[in-house]
Chains A and B, each alone.
Chain A
Amino acid sequence: MTAIGLSCLKHEIALLLFFYRNLNLKVMKPFIFMVAIIATTIAACSNPQKSNAKTVISSPQSSPKEAPQNASLGAVMTHYLHLKNALASDNTKEAATASAQLHTALAELGKQLLSSAQKKAYSDISADALENAQHIADNGGNIKHQREHFQGLSEDIYDLIKAFGTSQTLYKDYCPMAKATWVSEVKDIKNPYLGKSMSTCGSVKETISKK
């Protein structure tokens, strides 16, 4: 609301008070009505900041279980792989939940003690990864859109793994039909882009061994 808008409002109220003093109550009734309607309209319409805020389902698993192991991707990987498997089995709701948890884990990762190389990687990658995770979380029911963002997210996660290392052997897979990569914990191909309809499309491009 602009300052001009405010001062006009004040003016208007002063006008109302003038009417109130000088006219009898019968004439005044519509104005009382009017004020009531305005109050409700303003209450309903002029609170955009709040309604615009995106909510993320808070993760019950991310913080206490995976206690700080000196900046490991533990929680991030758990939720990413959960998301990947949900997409591979065409489960859009589960994908949304997993992605919300991944979002929390990614944000938490930034609060851990990071080496300077990790810090650099994190600041390069996190904004994009968080945004992708947010979109997947917000689009339960629209698996096509979730998969679009999963492509970028998978590249982000791969780059994070390169910077942070991994506590388990992982595989980078590629699907030529979707022209997209993903990271998997198993050697068998379970395609998260095509789902059950073409589950085995793709191949392992790289084995990322633990370190």
Chain B
Amino acid sequence: MTRLKTMILGGLVGAFVMIQFIQPDRNDSGQVSKQSLTALYHVPDNVTQILQQSCANCHSNNTAYPWYTHVQPVGWWMARHIRKGKAELNLDEFAGYSDRRRVSKLRSMKNQVMDGVMPLTSYTLIHRDARLSKEQKQQLVSWLDNTIDSLNQ
């Protein structure tokens, strides 16, 4: 019985060590994109900071990786989230969207933030500073509203 336990434990520890060698690619271009949302529109500082702190880790080409994302399988899980997040909205490639899609994306951002769907709860549980206060939500939503209105004219 003890031998079996040792075997299983040894197997698990060994597996854990070995999966550490499989590191997913980093989402970290290391540069400010000319195609980014902030280059395209006038974005006030407080909104820029909100986007940076609460959105950019999954919705841009530059993720700030905390240490534990270097531990697998956390890093794999994170990489999957980033890939999906960027497919839906990439703030660093916003200028690449057509006019029509820009409005769509901004509207979706507004709806998701107002509904509290974004930022994801599973994300804000760990990244406490990514949570949006009521005021931050208001600032973000009113900026989105203004931008959407100006694009619809």
Chain A residues with a Cβ under 8 A of chain B: 1-2, 4-5, 8-9, 12, 29-31, 33-34, 36-38, 41-42, 45-46, 48, 52, 124-125, 127-128, 131-132, 144-145, 148-149, 151-152, 156
Contact = CB atoms under 8 A, between A and B. Distances in A.
Nearest to B107: A152
Contact of B101 (A1, A8, A29, A131): A131
Interface of B: 6-8, 10-12, 14-15, 18-19, 21-25, 73, 76, 79-80, 83-84, 87, 98, 100-101, 103-104, 107-108, 111, 115
A62 B24 CA distance: 40
A106 to B, nearest CB: 14
18 contacts: A1-B22, A2-B23, A8-B21, A30-B10, A31-B14, A33-B10, A33-B14, A36-B11, A42-B22, A46-B76, A48-B80, A52-B83, A52-B87, A124-B98, A127-B101, A144-B115, A148-B107, A148-B111
A125 B21 contact: no
A17 B115 CA distance: 55
Nearest to B84: A52
A96 B79 CA distance: 29
A152 B97 CA distance: 15
Task: Give the residue among B18, B76, B84, B103 with the most A Cβ atoms within 10 A.
Answer: B18
A124 B100 contact: yes
